[in-house]
Chain A
């Protein structure tokens, strides 16, 4: 059961990462927002790559 929940969390992480990338691409004006999207992506990428 715990393994299934873990897999679901990885899927959720991938989904959130996808949304962040989409927002980053769509952002046209604010450099601050672009930077924030990238910063929030870091822990998600590290988790999905199973680094940290």
Chain B
């Protein structure tokens, strides 16, 4: 009897230790705030919930930054961290947020679009909880997020997710995926409200272009590309050709499939006047046959298994022992966004958007991503936002 009781106590203590140790780390991760420095171009900061009442007070609400130029012009919406485990998007958005000066038109930036997804991760898949970007003033720490929103904010998942309004049957998980819930609805699931609010921004503000930034596996064919529907195709093609000719990197164009619903590059175009584009840069961290999912793999993209697969021509992107570093991915995204703006402005001079002080591909690689981030401790408090 006494032995039984002792065993029971030992088991409870072991479980409590595991629970407390893991629980504290997960709790701290969910509540860790990333300081975002609003640069000289920021003129207004609002919340996504200002465009959809149902987001107020939830973890799905997130910051929306407006950078209005001196002269009127077109409007560009940058959506980052639709998938929070593809962090080059956030890093690119922050380069724009901290450095861009808008001469003409307006830039609207949502750095953490799936805010709930950025506050949980996949410990079961060995994802790190955080990653750090070196800067001249120290390291800037970021939460490593997940592809889908946290079940703490939207639960349970249905057996099958029925997309609104097309009623296409999608995977149950995709009801928490903000790149499957477009165009959303005001009274739907939480992630449908998130995409609905973004649609409202585009419709109410008269946004001309929307760029949704992602990362994709090297073994997935839709990688290293610009995904565009028919109406955005001309600008996407000109951008791709110009980037290849002038900056020397491949960013081919993929057509947005008409029959696959819920994706930003499909629904934004179909349900608003905005021209949507989705940028994909290779992200070896997401590939399945890699070594451990470490922060080093996330940042430098070097993996011996992918290298072997590359030699067997199993990857959809060029891959060598240099991997696919974060600087290259962010640099690609910066150049692609700037080139999309340039091509659009050339075709629509009355709606031109002119953005200065944002580096292009070669400059980001030369100086590193961290070079463009400012020290929040040395920045005026009113310009530091926590997200």
The distance from the CB of A27 to the nearest CB of chain B, in whole angstroms, is 8
Contacts A46-B26, A51-B23, A51-B26; A31 near B156 (Cβ below 8 A): no
Contact of B26 among A9, A29, A34, A52 (CB under 8 A): A52
Contact of A49 among B4, B12, B23, B154 (CB under 8 A): B23
Report chain A residues within 8 Å CB of B8.
Answer: 24, 34
The distance from the CB of B91 to the nearest CB of chain A, in whole angstroms, is 26
The distance from the CB of B194 to the nearest CB of chain A, in whole angstroms, is 14
The distance from the CB of B129 to the nearest CB of chain A, in whole angstroms, is 12
Q: Report the Cα distance A45→B155, complex, angstroms.
A: 15
The answer to whether B156 touches A41 (Cβ under 8 A) is no
Tell me which residues from 1 to 47 in chain B have a Cβ below 8 Å from any Cβ of chain A: 4, 7-8, 11-12, 15, 18-19, 22-23, 26-27, 30
Chain A residue total in the interface (Cβ 8 A): 21
The answer to whether B4 touches A28 (Cβ under 8 A) is yes
Q: Report the Cα distance A51→B343, complex, angstroms.
A: 46
Report chain B residues within 8 Å CB of A46.
Answer: 19, 22-23, 26
The answer to whether B11 touches A34 (Cβ under 8 A) is yes
Looking at chain A's contact residues, the main secondary structure is: helix
Interface residue? B186 (CB, 8 A)? no
Chain B residue total in the interface (Cβ 8 A): 22
The answer to whether B27 touches A42 (Cβ under 8 A) is no
The distance from the CB of B174 to the nearest CB of chain A, in whole angstroms, is 15
Interface residue? B245 (CB, 8 A)? no
The answer to whether B156 touches A42 (Cβ under 8 A) is no
Q: Report the Cα distance A6→B8, complex, angstroms.
A: 33
Contacts A42-B18, A51-B26; A35 near B11 (Cβ below 8 A): yes
The distance from the CB of B149 to the nearest CB of chain A, in whole angstroms, is 12
Interface residue? A38 (CB, 8 A)? yes
Report chain B residues within 8 Å CB of A35.
Answer: 11
Q: Report the Cα distance A39→B15, complex, angstroms.
A: 8
The answer to whether B23 touches A5 (Cβ under 8 A) is no
The answer to whether A50 touches B19 (Cβ under 8 A) is no
Interface residue? B261 (CB, 8 A)? no
Report chain A residues within 8 Å CB of B154.
Answer: 2, 6
Contact of A31 among B7, B120, B155 (CB under 8 A): B7
Interface residue? B189 (CB, 8 A)? yes
Tell me which residues from 7 to 32 in chain A have a Cβ below 8 Å from any Cβ of chain B: 9, 24, 28-29, 31
Interface residue? B190 (CB, 8 A)? yes
Known contacts A47-B151, A52-B123; 6 additional CB pairs below 8 A are A9-B155, A29-B4, A35-B11, A39-B15, A49-B23, A50-B152
Residues of B in contact with A (beta carbons under 8 Å apart): 4, 7-8, 11-12, 15, 18-19, 22-23, 26-27, 30, 120, 123, 151-152, 154-156, 189-190
List 13 A-B residue pairs with CB atoms under 8 Å apart, sorted by A's residue number: A2-B190, A6-B154, A6-B156, A9-B155, A9-B156, A24-B8, A28-B4, A31-B7, A39-B15, A42-B19, A45-B19, A47-B151, A52-B26
